[in-house]
Amino acid sequence: MRRADLDALERVWDTLDVVSVANAQAPVLGYRGCFVQDGDKRWFVSGDVVTLQRPQGSESRHDARGDFERMILATAPADVPVAALTGLDRG
């Protein structure tokens, strides 16, 4: 992922509301989410929750519109069928 893309993700992250997600689990079947890593920071998106994991701990935020997830998926290699994986057409 390009530095400009990571910077754009950081800007979206800064706009998301903090949420508590005790014991959140990804679905057992189907699309489970996506992630991106930048050094010791790792963002994981599942459903409408983005979790930032880093050595100091983790924090989760609500991505109701799916903007953060869409941005990660848009940077996937061209041979990945992103449209088939996203499930983001929630209307």
Per-residue pLDDT of 3-28, as tens digits, reads 898 999 999 999 999 988 655 565 66
Per-residue pLDDT of 23-34, as tens digits, reads 556 566 666 778
Residue 16's contacts (CB-CB under 8 Å, 6 or more residues apart) are 50, 61, 62, 63, 68
Tell me the pTM.
0.73
40 falls in which pLDDT band (50, 70, 90)?
very high
Output the six-digit token pair for 84. 């088939």
Indicate if the pLDDT at residue 90 is higher than 50.
Answer: no
Indicate if the pLDDT at residue 68 is higher than 80.
Answer: yes
* 40, 34 contact by CB (below 8 A): no
